[in-house]
């Protein structure tokens, strides 16, 4: 297998696996503590408006619905997970993906919280790092924890993929 094909296959497997873990984490938080996770329909709505040239909204829930927004949001969720996994492999190299270690995966996973803090939350009306939410500190903590879980998922998925 060529390095390019191996890179793509590993990034896809690792990204999907890590994203599945954060979805399981979100389900656990909902069932145990009643904590609602991100509504991926709103992500799809934001992306739909973004494609039309509008980046920032006062509140994405008040923006006009976009056809297929829920599907778009879920597809984007997994595509972003794969893109982040590709970023980790690009930084650490295929050698890391073949023999993964935990610290780079966790650090990279936590660092990915910058994307929602700096791009998605401001664009969707939540402000920089959730500053316009009712409880910014709690929202930030949940985001950081979720991205730490993603980092754990990056490592676990890479370790599993390395066996095959």
The answer to whether residue 38 scores a pLDDT higher than 90 is no
pTM for this prediction: 0.94
Domain with 22, as residue range(s), is: 3-162
Contact 11/93 with Cβ under 8 angstroms? no
The single residue listed with the structure tokens 């503590």 is 33
Question: pLDDT tens for residues 51-97?
Answer: 999 999 999 999 999 999 999 999 999 999 999 999 999 999 999 99
pLDDT at 47: 96
The average pLDDT across 111-130 equals: 96
The answer to whether residue 164 scores a pLDDT higher than 90 is no
Helices (H), 112-163: 114-115, 121-124, 136-162
Domain count of the chain?
1
Contact 75/41 with Cβ under 8 angstroms? no
Average pLDDT, the chain: 96
């Amino acid at each position: 297998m060529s390095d390019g094909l191996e890179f793509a296959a590993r990034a896809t497997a690792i990204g999907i696996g890590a994203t599945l873990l954060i979805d399981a984490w979100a389900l656990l938080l909902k069932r145990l503590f009643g904590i609602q996770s991100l509504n991926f329909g709103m992500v799809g709505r934001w992306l739909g408006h973004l494609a039309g040239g509008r980046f920032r909204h006062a509140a994405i829930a008040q923006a006009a619905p976009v056809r297929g927004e829920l599907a778009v949001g879920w597809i984007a969720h997994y595509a972003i997970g794969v893109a982040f996994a590709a970023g980790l492999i690009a930084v650490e190299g295929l050698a890391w993906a073949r023999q993964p270690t935990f610290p780079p995966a966790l650090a990279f996973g936590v660092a990915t919280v910058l994307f929602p803090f700096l791009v998605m939350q401001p664009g969707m009306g939540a402000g920089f790092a959730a500053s316009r939410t009712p409880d910014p500190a709690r929202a930030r903590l949940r985001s950081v924890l979720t991205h730490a879980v993603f980092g754990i998922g990056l490592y676990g998925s890479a370790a599993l993929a390395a066996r095959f």
